């Protein structure tokens, strides 16, 4: 302590200068990371990146293969689930609910909210007690560009992902003095297997609006951002909403000639 302020512990200082220490606890053992939705394109990349950095990664998904198979919307969590987790990455989500607001059924709406928002809260809540007790924790919520920009035909998805942003800000505020950071990652169009499976005409239709950089994002790019936010190096970063969308959130309106800057 210096003048009443808490300083990083020696192990945290070491991890700031040594990437190989990112996944280590102060005693040299592997930090425990939990990744939900681990079987999807982004989830798989996050799991691989964290394991490569030395974390002991626990995976969950609604279907095998996963260390814990459960439906976050309704299944009871196992005893002591999350108690030893240092890094919680909430990635599980329903992404294929498509309906305009005036035709959205109550069942479809509720499913998105139950999985994408309530399911995320259940997992984070399960991890918080241990994080607060140990004075260290990293929580990363995978939200979406739709949380801030909306998405036609995705009112339930957009609302659920926007809810994560408010949840993150609140939990960050409540736990900042306990060494726990909470941040949101907002991916744009990422080249996952699910996206590649979309009809070509659909991808062409959204390319101009969502791909100003001329390409989709890679799952590894999302995983690299998550790995940074999960590390001790990001200990002074909390309650942030970080878009990784290749500039899709930028205005593409030009007052000059098409393709030329004014």
As annotated, the active-site residues are: 157
8 A C-beta contact, residue 152 and residue 100: yes
Measured N-to-C along each axis, helices 219-229 and 41-52 cross at an angle, to the nearest 10 degrees, of 50
CB pairs under 8 A, 24+ apart, for 196-204? Answer: none
Closest CA to 21 of 55, 46, 44: 55
8 A C-beta contact, residue 67 and residue 73: no
User: In angstroms, rounded to a whole number, what is the distance separating the alpha carbons of residues 39 and 59?
Assistant: 8
User: Rounded to the nearest 5°, which phi and psi values hold at 149?
Assistant: -105, -15
**Residues in the chain, total:** 262
User: In angstroms, rounded to a whole number, what is the distance separating the alpha carbons of residues 132 and 180?
Assistant: 7
The helix/strand/coil state of 33 is: strand
């Amino acid at each position: 302590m210096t003048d009443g302020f808490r300083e990083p512990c020696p192990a945290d200082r070491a991890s700031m200068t040594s990437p190989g220490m990112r996944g280590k606890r102060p005693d040299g053992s592997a930090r425990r990371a939990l990744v939900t939705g681990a079987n999807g394109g982004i989830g798989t990349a996050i799991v691989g990146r964290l394991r490569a950095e030395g974390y002991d990664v626990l995976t969950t998904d609604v279907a095998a293969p996963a260390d814990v198979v459960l439906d976050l919307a309704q299944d009871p969590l196992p005893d002591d689930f999350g108690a030893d987790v240092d890094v919680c990455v909430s990635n599980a989500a329903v992404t294929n609910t498509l309906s305009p607001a005036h035709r959205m059924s109550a069942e479809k709406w509720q499913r998105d909210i139950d999985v994408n928002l309530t399911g995320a809260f259940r997992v984070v809540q399960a991890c918080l007690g241990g994080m607060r007790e140990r004075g260290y924790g990293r929580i990363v919520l995978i939200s979406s560009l739709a949380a801030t920009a909306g998405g036609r035909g995705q009112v339930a998805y957009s609302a659920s992902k926007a809810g994560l942003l408010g949840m993150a800000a609140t939990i960050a505020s409540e736990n900042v003095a306990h060494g726990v950071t909470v941040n949101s990652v907002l991916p744009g169009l990422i080249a996952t297997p699910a996206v590649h499976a979309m009809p070509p005409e659909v991808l062409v239709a959204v390319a101009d609006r969502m791909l100003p950089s001329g390409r989709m994002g890679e799952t590894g790019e999302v995983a690299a951002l998550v790995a940074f936010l999960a590390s001790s190096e990001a200990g002074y970063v909390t309650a942030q909403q970080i878009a990784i969308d290749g500039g899709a959130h930028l205005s593409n309106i030009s007052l000059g000639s098409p393709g030329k800057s004014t």
